[in-house]
Chain A
Amino acid sequence: MNIYLPVAAMDINILWVACAGIGVGFVQGLLGSGGFLLTPILIMMGVNPAVATASGINAIAGASVSGAIAHLRVGNVDIGIGLLMLVGGVSGGALGTWIVKLLRAVGNLDLVIVSCYVVLMAVIGVMVFIEGITSQVRGEPASGEPSRVVRLLQRLPLQMRFKAAGVQTSALAPFLLGAFVGVLAAIMGVGGGFVLIPAMTYLLDMPMQVVVGTSLFQMLFTSSSVTLMQAAMNHTVDVVLAAILLIGSTLGAQLGARAAQKLRADQLKVVFSLLVLAMSVKMLNGLLAAPAFLLQELVGRR
Chain B
Amino acid sequence: MKAGRLAAVLVLSFCHGVFAAGAEPSAQQVNPLRSLEVSDHNIRVTSCYAGKRVGVWGRVEPGCAVAVKLTSPDREVTFSRMGKVGPFWMSVGRVRFGNVPRMYKISTSDPLDEILSSQEQLRYRLGLRGLRASLTAEGGTEAELHLDELIAARKAGGLFSFREGGVTCREGRYSTNFFWPCRVASGRYTIEAFAIRGRRVVGTRSLSIEVHEVGIEAFVSNLARSHGVLYGLGAVGLAAVVGLLMCLVFDFLGNLGAIHSARKRNRPKNV
Contacts and interface: CB of A to CB of B under 8 A. Distances in A.
Contacts of A63: 239, 243
Given A65-B243, A254-B250, A296 B79 contact: yes
A224 B81 contact: no
A291 B79 CA distance: 14
Contact of A246 (B81, B221, B224, B239): B239
Contacts of A233: 228
B235 A298 contact: no
A106 B91 contact: yes
B243 A4 contact: no
B242 A295 contact: no
Interface in B10-24: none
A91 to B, nearest CB: 17
Contacts of B51: 11
Nearest to B250: A254
Interface residues of A, number: 53
Interface residues of B, number: 56
A4 B46 contact: yes
Interface string A268-291: 000000000000000000011111
Contacts of B7: none
Contact of B232 (A232, A287, A298): A232
Contacts of A2: 48, 50
B228 A231 contact: yes
Contact of A62 (B50, B217, B242): B242
Q: Is the interface of A mostly helix, strand, loop or mixed?
A: helix
A61 B236 contact: yes
Contacts of A111: 88-91
A254 B91 CA distance: 42
A206 B234 CA distance: 35
A295 B239 contact: no
Contacts of A59: 239
B232 to A, nearest CB: 3
B77 interface: yes
A239 B239 CA distance: 8
B220 interface: yes
A247 to B, nearest CB: 6
B225 A239 contact: no
Interface in B174-190: 182-183, 185
A107 interface: yes
Interface in B22-71: 45-51
B240 interface: yes
Given A4-B48, A294-B81, A227 B244 contact: no
Contacts of B47: 3-4, 240
Contacts of A6: 213, 216-217, 220-221, 224
B150 interface: yes
B182 A11 contact: yes
Interface of A: 2-4, 6-7, 9-11, 58-59, 61-66, 106-108, 111, 115, 224, 227-233, 235, 237, 239-240, 242-243, 246-247, 250-251, 254, 287-298, 301
Interface of B: 45-51, 77-84, 87-91, 94-95, 146, 149-150, 152-153, 156, 182-183, 185, 213, 216-217, 220-221, 224-225, 228-229, 231-236, 238-244, 246-247, 250
6 contacts: A62-B238, A62-B241, A111-B90, A231-B231, A290-B89, A295-B146
Given A11-B49, A231-B224, A250-B243, 6 more contacts: A6-B221, A62-B240, A239-B235, A242-B235, A293-B156, A295-B81
